[in-house]
């Protein structure tokens, strides 16, 4: 992501021989303006140089945009169909400007991040990628396509973008999956390993856990997987709203984390987080530690800057679970009982999901949790076998896999399984294959033995 003034893109292009193809594509990208209307409402306005028949949105995972984005002008309609969200005039006329008001609240999206993560202390984290749009279709988007964006803060708010605190409206060139931008009054805290924007309203024990455990985890991973190219940003929000998603547990504890290049973010909601540590109990202490360790692990799976493939999610999600478990065990950062239960539950849930098919079909069967649970078992079994042979541990696998990716091999199942076979032997590779295909040879006893419990 580069923060340069809109218009400089083409000037730079001219210096480099001005790519007419890129310019042609850029003509299909509107100028996007985000402005806080009030504490819980964001207005997004799209402006085009030339009249167009409609705008399509780049990130579509369900129909929530059509429900939540309200056009200011009733002459427009936003429809969701298939994997497309599309806005046009009801009378079919061309237009150059369209604006929507959107509730700036957290939503759960299948396999994407919420566009908004409110902080209890009044701040707001915004995922810019959700606002990327294109004339007619985003099929024209290629690497290098720039989505010019501007964010206008409300009264008493500043913006934190790319580690910098900025006053007033800020423009940037959004690219790829977008970035997390903070709006509010909090100042970032810079430490040796991370620049953090932590909700001031987090209970003391949670913010202490973040302050102590997160740097310890970063140091631990850095020692084993190498330093990140630049200091990542950490955002942690305790939502001021309680989720109304029909899940009774949400009233207590709910959480979602994620990573974008060089950024990790954690969203917590539910009043349970405000209880004292004693009331929350050791389960939640373990859970919080796991949450931090999982998200921090993601940063090291690629090295900073790169993004992992969302195909074969068991590689990065199962990997983050396995790396987190090993890290918490070695740092003594979670109760032993908790770590054991976590593994046993992963075995049971993985087996349950394999009854109807392999890990390979988990996404299409709508059992995405198998990527975490079965993926964790595969990688813990590799860890166990490499340790038994005295040749290293799970980090040996990840260093080798990252090396293969750096050498140009694809981020996929074949490359990962080939690394498992090279480092952890044929038997571990066969277990992974059986889990991926859902073979009847996968039994509880075999899985427990493989991970050493
Ligand atoms: Zn994850």
Q: Is the pLDDT of residue 281 over 90?
A: no
Residues 77 and 30 both lie in one domain: yes
160 φ, ψ (degrees, to nearest 5) = -115, 115
Q: Please compute the mean of the pLDDT values over residues 269-276 and round it to a whole number.
A: 79
CA 368/CA 373 separation, integer angstroms: 9
Whether residue 342 is contained in a domain is answered as yes
Q: Same structural domain for residues 224 and 371? A: yes
Q: Highest mean pLDDT: which of 265-269, 380-384, 407-411?
A: 380-384
At residue 10, the pLDDT reads 37
For the segment 323-353, what is each residue's pLDDT rounded down to a tens digit?
999 999 999 999 899 999 999 999 999 999 9
Q: 125 C-alpha to center of ligand 1: Å?
A: 19
Q: Which comes out higher in pLDDT, residue 243 or 221?
A: 221
Last residue of a domain, one of 150, 165, 184: 184
CATH of the domain at 220: 1.10.390.10
pLDDT for the residue numbered 251: 52
CA of 256 from ligand 1 middle (Å) equals 9
Return the bridge partners of 150, or none: 33, 171
- 73-95: pLDDT as tens digits: 999 999 999 889 999 999 999 99
* Range 124-128 average pLDDT: 97
More confident residue, 247 or 253: 253
pLDDT mean over 6-35: 66
Segment 243-257 mean pLDDT: 62
Instruction: Give me the pLDDT at residue 173, please.
Output: 96
CA of 157 to the centre of ligand 1 (A): 30
77 inside domain? yes
Question: What is the pLDDT averaged over residues 155-171?
Answer: 93
Which tokens go with 77?
């309609």
* Distance of CA 258 from the midpoint of ligand 1 (Å): 6
The Å distance, Cα 389 to ligand 1 centre, comes to 29
**CA of residue 163 to ligand 1 center, whole Å:** 23
Q: 173 and 27 share a domain?
A: yes
Look at residue 1 and tell me if it is in a domain: no
Gap from CA of 5 to ligand 1 centroid (Å)? 34
Q: Do 379 and 252 belong to one domain?
A: yes
Q: How far is the CA of 348 from the centre of ligand 1 (A)?
A: 20
Tell me, what's the pLDDT at 35? 97
Element (DSSP H or E) covering residue 250 = none
How many whole angstroms from 204 Cα to the centroid of ligand 1? 25
So what's the pLDDT on residue 4? 34
Domain with residue 178: its CATH number is 2.60.40
Distance between Cα 317 and ligand 1 center (Å): 5
The alpha carbon of 359 and the centre of ligand 1 are apart by a number of angstroms equal to 17
Instruction: Say if residue 207 is in the same domain as residue 131.
Output: no
CB within 8 Å of 63: residues ≥ 6 apart = 80, 85
- Residue 214 shares a structural domain with residue 177: no
> For residue 321, how far is its CA from the centre of ligand 1 (angstroms)?
8
Domains held by the chain: number: 2
Segment 350-360, tens digit of pLDDT: 999 999 999 99
Span from the CA of 270 to the centroid of ligand 1 (angstroms): 21
Ligand 1 center–CA 225 separation, angstroms: 17
Identify the CA nearest to 305 among candidates 228, 235, 233, 221. Answer: 228
Residue 139 Cα to ligand 1 middle (Å): 27
Are 206 and 156 found together in one domain? no
Virtual torsion, Cα 374, 389, 453, 216, nearest 10 deg: -80
Q: Which residue did the predictor score with more confidence, 387 or 257? A: 387
- End-to-end CA gap in the chain: 45
The alpha carbon of 205 and the centre of ligand 1 are apart by a number of angstroms equal to 23
pLDDT band at 293 (very low <50, low <70, confident <90, very high): very high
User: Does a structural domain hold residue 3?
Assistant: no
- Residue 164 and residue 225 share a domain: no
Parallel/antiparallel/unpaired status of strands 31-38 and 41-52: antiparallel
Encode pLDDT of 386-405 as tens digits: 999 999 999 999 999 999 99
CA of 54 from ligand 1 middle (Å) equals 35
Percent of the chain exceeding pLDDT 90 equals: 66
8 A C-beta contact, residue 325 and residue 294: no
Residues 199-225 have pLDDT tens digits of 998 888 888 888 888 889 999 999 999
Instruction: Tell me the C-alpha distance between 268 and 236, whole Å.
Output: 8
Same domain? For 107 and 141 the reply is: yes
| Domain range for 255 | 195-451
Nearest to 350 by CA among 308, 323, 380: 380
Phi, psi of 106, rounded to the nearest 5 degrees: -70, 135
**Does residue 190 lie in a domain region?**
no
Domain boundary, last residue among 132, 155, 184: 184
- In 333-441, alpha helices (H): 336-354, 369-388, 394-406, 413-437
Distance 313 CA to ligand 1 centre (A): 9
How far, in Å, is the centroid of ligand 1 from the Cα of 196?
19
Q: Is residue 247 part of a domain?
A: yes
How far away, in angstroms, is 266 Cα from ligand 1 center? Answer: 11
pLDDT in tens, 185-197: 999 988 888 899 9
Nearest in space to 111 (alpha carbons), one of 411, 368, 374, 376: 368
Mean residue pLDDT across the chain: 89
Angle between helices 444-451 and 413-437 (to 10 degrees): 140
Distance 369 CA to ligand 1 centre (A): 11
Mean pLDDT (whole number) for 146-161: 94
**Ligand 1 centroid to 208 CA: how many Å?**
22
Of the three residues 184, 212, 238, the one that is the final residue of a domain is 184
Residue 39 has pLDDT above 80, yes or no: yes
CA of 134 to the centre of ligand 1 (A): 29
Distance 28 CA to ligand 1 centre (A): 33
User: Does residue 133 form part of some domain?
Assistant: yes
Report the separation in Å between the CA atom of 267 and the middle of ligand 1, taken as the mean of its atom positions: 13
313 plus 433 within the same structural domain:
yes
Ligand 1 mean position to 295 CA, how many Å?
6
Q: Are residues 248 and 378 in the same domain?
A: yes
Q: What's the burial of 14, exposed, middle or buried (CB within 10 Å: 0-12/13-18/19+)?
A: exposed
pLDDT of residue 82: 87
- By percentage, how much of the chain surpasses pLDDT 70? 91
- CA–centroid distance, 55 to ligand 1, in Å, is 31
Has residue 12 got a pLDDT over 70? Answer: no
Token pair of 401, please? Answer: 């896999």
Distance from the alpha carbon of residue 187 to the mean position of ligand 1, in angstroms: 27
Give the distance (Å) from ligand 1 centre to CA of residue 284: 18
Contact (Cβ atoms closer than 8 angstroms) between residue 79 and residue 56:
no
Cα separations in angstroms, 43 against 55, 136, 152, 284 = 16, 21, 10, 37
How many angstroms does the Cα of residue 35 sit away from the middle of ligand 1?
30
DSSP symbols for 180-210: EEEEESPPPEE-SS-EEEE-TTS-HHHHHHH
Among 90-104, 145-159, 247-261, 372-386, which stretch is predicted with the lowest mean pLDDT? 247-261
8-state DSSP, 231: P
Could you tell me which residues come within 8 angstroms of residue 196 by beta carbon, excluding any fewer than 6 positions away?
Answer: 188, 189, 190, 210, 214, 233, 234, 235, 236
CB 137 within 8 A of CB 83: no
In a domain, 189, yes or no: no
Are residues 205 and 344 both part of a single domain? yes
């Amino acid at each position: 992501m580069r923060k340069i003034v809109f218009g400089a893109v083409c000037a730079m292009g001219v210096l480099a021989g001005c790519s007419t193809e890129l310019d042609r594509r850029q003509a299909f990208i509107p100028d996007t303006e985000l402005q806080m209307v009030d504490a819980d409402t964001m207005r997004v306005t799209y402006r085009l140089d030339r009249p167009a028949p409609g705008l399509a949105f780049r990130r579509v995972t369900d129909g929530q945009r059509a429900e939540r984005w309200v056009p200011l002008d009733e002459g427009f309609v936003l429809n969701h169909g298939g994997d497309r969200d599309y806005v046009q005039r009801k009378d079919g006329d061309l237009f150059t400007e369209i604006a929507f008001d959107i509730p700036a609240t957290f939503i759960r999206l299948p396999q994407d991040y919420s566009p908004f993560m409110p902080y209890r202390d009044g701040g707001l984290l915004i995922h810019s990628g959700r606002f990327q749009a294109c004339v007619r279709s985003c099929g024209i988007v290629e690497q290098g396509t720039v989505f010019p964006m501007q964010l206008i803060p409300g009264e008493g708010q500043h913006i934190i973008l790319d580690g910098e605190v900025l006053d007033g409206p800020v423009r940037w060139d959004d690219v790829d999956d977008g970035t997390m931008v903070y709006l509010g009054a909090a100042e970032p805290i810079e430490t040796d390993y991370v620049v953090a924007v932590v909700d001031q309203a987090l209970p003391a024990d949670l913010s202490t856990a973040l302050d102590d455990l997160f740097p310890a985890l970063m140091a631990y991973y850095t020692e084993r997987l190498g330093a990140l190219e630049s200091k990542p940003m950490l955002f942690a929000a305790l939502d001021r709203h309680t989720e109304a998603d029909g899940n009774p547990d949400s009233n207590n504890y709910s959480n979602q984390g994620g990573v974008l290049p060089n950024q990790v973010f954690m969203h917590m909601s539910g009043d349970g987080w405000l209880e004292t540590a004693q009331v929350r109990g050791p389960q939640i202490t373990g859970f919080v530690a796991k949450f931090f360790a999982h998200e921090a692990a993601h940063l090291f799976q690629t090295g900073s800057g790169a993004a992992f493939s969302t195909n074969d999610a068991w590689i990065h999600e199962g990997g983050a679970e396995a790396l987190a478990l090993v890290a918490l065990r070695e740092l003594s950062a979670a109760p032993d009982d908790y770590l054991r239960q976590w593994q046993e539950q992963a075995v049971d849930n993985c087996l349950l999901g394999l009854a109807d098919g392999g890990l390979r079909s988990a996404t299409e069967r709508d059992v995405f949790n198998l990527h975490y649970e079965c993926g964790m078992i595969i990688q813990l079994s590799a860890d166990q076998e490499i340790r038994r042979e005295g040749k290293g541990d799970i980090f040996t696998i990840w260093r080798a896999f990252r090396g293969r990716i750096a050498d140009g091999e694809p981020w996929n199942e074949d490359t990962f399984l080939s690394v498992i076979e090279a480092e952890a032997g044929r038997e571990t590779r066969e277990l992974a294959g059986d889990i991926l295909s859902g073979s009847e040879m996968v039994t509880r006893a075999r899985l427990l033995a493989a991970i050493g419990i």
